[in-house]
Structure formats: C-alpha cells, structure tokens
A and B are shown apart, each in its own frame.
Chain A
C-alpha cells in the first residue's frame, strides 16, 4: 500500500473538517471540526516523514498536538463564557455585531 493513500485520506479528513466548520451551528461542534483539520494535518506530516524517510514530520506532529491542546483550553473557556451569558452555544445567536 503506497503512502499516497494516507495523503488522500488526510486531505479528505481536512475537507470534512472545513465543511463541518462551514455548516455546523454549535460552537463546540465547529471547534471539534477545527481539531479534525489539525489532526488531518498531523496525518499528512507523518506520511511525508515516512515518504522522506526521516523523523522531522513526526516531531512536528507532536508540536501540533501541544498547540491543539492549548487551543482547546482557550477555546472552551471562551465558549463557556458566552454560554453562561446566553444559555446557548449556537454560532447563529452571536449576531449583535454586524455590518
């Protein structure tokens, strides 16, 4: 099995993440889709590391995981704060600022 399939799989996962961000309405789910995008990139990095026969890509995947974890902390804090004031995590309800 050639590594190319993994690249295609990761492109597919990334696309699912993008579509999810664009169509889902719950801030938590949108955020999960962003995490999916980050993890799809991890798969790309690891696959390219395998193709190139070196470790750089795998090490980078660890960096990405740490960043993703930090992003979860900040993101959930913000979503919790707005959930407390509105009793809703829907991105359609955050509509005071426009035009």
Chain B
C-alpha cells in the first residue's frame, strides 16, 4: 500500500501478497461480484436458488479457507506489503482471524435468515426496491406488486459485499484501508435497509436516516484521518503510534484527529451519544437485515476500534481514557434507561444493543491482553444472541406482518411454548444471567476493566446491567404470565433456514455460557501485529 514512498517512482514495486492469509476475503468479494453478474444474466425464476447457493457456499468456503489457514502453521502477518521493511495494508493477526471467524459464522446465519421464504411468502424483501409505500404509518395493505412473491435477490451480493467490507475493516492496518472498508461495508447496508416488503415507508425512512447520518459520521472519520496524516506524516497505525511517542509535534492535531476518528468508529458501533440512528434503523429495516447489522456491524466496528486504540494510541491512553469513559457511561445509561420506555420489541433490542456497546467500550478501553480477549469473546457471544433474537422476532406475526408491538407478545408462552422458551433464553443472555454467554462475556469484560484500574466504571456498568435486566425480564413476564389477546398474533412455523439460524444462535448462547473456556482460549491466542 506504499503507493509512493516519498518520491521517485522506483519505489513502486509489485506488492507481495500472502494469498493464503487473505483467501477468505478474496472468496467473499469474488462471490459478491459473481452474484452481481448472476443477477444480470439469469432469468428471474432461477436467481433465488442460484444466489442462495452461491452466497452460502462462498461464506462456508471462506470459513474453510480460514480454518485451513489457522490450523496450518500460520504466523501473524501483515499482507499487501510494497516492500519487506514496511508493514502492509492488512494485518492478519490472531484477533483479526478470530473476528473473521466470528463474522463468517454470524454472516452465514444472517444469510440463512435473509434467504428464508417460508415466514413471509416470497421472503422479507420487496421485488422492486423503488416500490411506493402503502398507507401512512406503514401498516399497509399490500399492493398487487408487493404481494407478487418474487424476491429482491440483489440482497445476496449486497450482503456479501458488506461482509467482505467488515472483514477488511477488522484487519485494516492503515487508516485509509479502514476508511475504504468502512464505506464498502456501509453502502450495501444503507440499501439493504430500504428493501422491506411490508411497511415500505418506514423501511425507506430507515434507509434515508441511516444513509445521511452514516455518511455524516464517515466524513468525521475521514477528517480525523486527514489530521492524523498531518500529525504523523503517514496513516499507518504503527507510524501513528511511533509519532505519538515523540512530544515535539502538535498535540492539537493528534487529539482532534483521534476524536474525529473515534466519532466515526463509535457511530458504527452505535455507542452512546452517537446512537441516534440505531433504534429507527433497527425498527425500520427488514428484520433479517437488522439481525445482520446488529450482529456483524458491531463486531466489525469494535474490531476496528480495538485495533486503532491498541496499536496507535496506547501510549496516549491517559489522555483519552477519561473521555471514552464518559462515552461508555452515557451509552450504558441511554441504553438502560430509554430501553425501559420502549413499546416495540425491535426498538427494545436496539436500545439493548446501545447498552451492550457501552459495556464493549469498557472492555476495549482496558488495553490489556485480558481486555482484548474479553471484548472479542463478548462480540462473539453477543452476535449469536442478538441474531437469534431477531430471528425469533421475525416469527411472531399478524395480518399486517411482524407484530413487533410488545402488547402482541402477551401470553405467547400459552400459544407457542417453544418460541417463548427460546426467546426467554436469549433475553436472559442479553441480561447477563449465569449459564448464558451474556454472563461470561460481561464477567470477562468487567474483570479485565477492574484489573486495569477502572473500578468506578465497572460499578456503573453493573448498575446499568441491573436496570437493563428489568426490561428483558418484563418481556419474559409478559410472555408467561399474561393472558393472550383473542386477536393476537400467530407464530409462524419457520422453514429450515430460519430454524437453523435460531437454533444455532440459541445453542451457541448456551454452550458459550456453560463451557466458555474453548472460545476464551481462541480469543486470547495472541495480540495485534502491525
């Protein structure tokens, strides 16, 4: 990536690429490009099976490539080097490999949810993205075109591009690669938000809001990149770290740059005061896309944040830690308190994700090995749980589509004990009750923060999780101890795709809660290289 090493063109050599290390990435991006071609050449009725087969195979294939690389004699490396002495554009190290694995598994489950056509006839995606919305408020009667059971199959290549962008984002070793990856993951997501078959108006509204705010935040990220380039003379994370240790440069550039960069990263992770898009977008987007965003975007955003903080800004941690602590507290408070007032189950999980983002920031701030592995484990555990939770949300339906209002969930256990039990397990995991992955994740993160001298923050985090537990348990009580409404929603019996996604998510939640050691070992296998 050293496109011009300070002058003469002789510095431009052929970059050396460690293909084995980046094979998962190449597979995902290639499949995305092939998916776009399929969209152009195949007749409409063949697109769905072809796209599903292509995207599932490619994600599994990328996972196999990753597994082969990891079990082989691998060494943490940076790749795409222009010359041997400099570090490359991608750092394929142990945390990056762990995050890639996490993203691929979660992405596979999200693809299963996206591909499902049994819950909503024809799938959750409209066949033409530009279709008008129905009546105001979005509780619409479907138009003839919307009921046409064709499905927007472009969503599959879009998902693959977003997934590839996320994987690049976690491994980016310089800020420019990180910015490009940020856009590659964001742009498909903006589009996917606007594709819901039902409630077209709120779906389109979610897309507009996400797009405008997301572009706004990435402009901040970019300005941070510009200022740090001025500070360090390079956008490589390692060079910024070296520059930050010297004191003869302008601190203004460093901290203004870090602040603006952090805004962009925290926005994507839906943290604290930069969360305003989260509830609206989670509610308006089609539920499978929400599941994908909630699980995978969070993994990518925190992977990037961890890398930037650990690699570039460790030496200045005394300066920024207090600011980031405030952000974490604000995030936990907003998530826990505003979550109490929600009447819509998707919005409630969105506020829960804001609270969880606060906990993750606490873990990311502890710049120790424990902090790193705890945060990575937390991301894995949270991803499975939230993905399965949105899967369950997509099952409870009435005549106008998904019944997301909490009142519709009253007495669900009487009508559908299995769904209610699954959702209970997932809510308990989100609340952090022992024997679920949420508890282990929280325990690991708080322990790491405590041993790194952040006791006050841990106390606040515990209070926040106690408050948040109230609204999870309220749903459990509602499902088990209320009488179902006579005209309440029905629980759709899901097809094999959705069933698999929910089952894997729930089982992983329990397994990671009961025997978490193996995953913790993977997460703590090594640190960042740069």
Contacts and interface: CB of A to CB of B under 8 A. Distances in A.
B187 A74 contact: yes
A97 B227 CA distance: 36
B138 interface: yes
Interface in B312-363: 341
B226 A30 contact: no
Contacts of A30: 212
A47 B226 CA distance: 10
Nearest to A46: B226
A74 B191 contact: yes
B283 A97 contact: yes
Main secondary structure of the interface of B (DSSP, over half): helix
A82 B284 CA distance: 13
A53 B160 CA distance: 39
Contacts of B284: 96-97
B503 interface: no
Interface in A38-84: 38, 40-41, 44-45, 47-48, 51-57, 59-60, 63-64, 67, 70-71, 74-75, 77-82, 84
Nearest to A66: B180
Interface in B185-220: 187, 190-191, 194, 200-202, 204-209, 211-212, 215-216, 219
A85 B201 contact: yes
Interface residues of A, number: 49
Contact of A44 (B137, B200, B216, B223): B223
Contact of A82 (B4, B207, B229, B283): B207
Nearest to A59: B3
Contacts of A54: 4, 6-7, 233
A70 B183 contact: yes
Given A31-B212, A57-B229, A74-B187, A97 B204 contact: no
A19 to B, nearest CB: 12
A98 B212 CA distance: 16
Nearest to A51: B230
B222 A48 contact: no
A60 B227 CA distance: 13
B191 to A, nearest CB: 6
A7 B7 CA distance: 23
A27 B209 CA distance: 10
B93 interface: no
A48 B187 contact: no
A56 B204 contact: no
A80 B206 CA distance: 14
Contact of A78 (B191, B233, B235): B191
B225 interface: yes
Interface stretch (B70-78, B125-133, B463-471, B488-496): B125-133
B176 A78 contact: no
B226 A44 contact: yes
A34 interface: yes
A21 interface: yes
B280 interface: yes
Contact of A75 (B215, B219, B225, B283): B215
Interface in B129-148: 129-130, 132-133, 136-138
Given A64-B222, A71-B183, A55 B227 contact: no
Nearest to A17: B219
Given A34-B212, A78-B211, A98-B280, A67 B180 contact: yes
B337 to A, nearest CB: 13
B137 A96 contact: yes
A81 B209 contact: no
Contact of B191 (A17, A38, A77): A77
Contact of B223 (A37, A51, A82): A37
Nearest to B176: A60
A59 B280 CA distance: 37
A55 B136 CA distance: 53
Interface string A1-39: 000000100100010010001000001001100100110
Contact of B215 (A48, A60, A71): A71
A97 B209 contact: yes
B390 interface: no
A53 B7 CA distance: 8
Given A41-B223, A44-B223, A56-B234, A94 B205 contact: yes
B378 interface: no
Given A31-B212, A41-B223, A44-B229, 14 more contacts: A31-B215, A34-B219, A41-B222, A45-B229, A47-B230, A48-B230, A52-B233, A54-B4, A60-B229, A70-B187, A78-B207, A81-B194, A82-B205, A85-B201
13 contacts: A21-B212, A34-B215, A44-B227, A45-B226, A54-B6, A57-B229, A59-B3, A60-B235, A71-B215, A74-B190, A77-B191, A78-B190, A86-B133
Would you list the 6 A-B pairs with minimal beta carbon distance, nearest first?
A55-B4, A37-B219, A44-B226, A48-B230, A97-B280, A85-B132
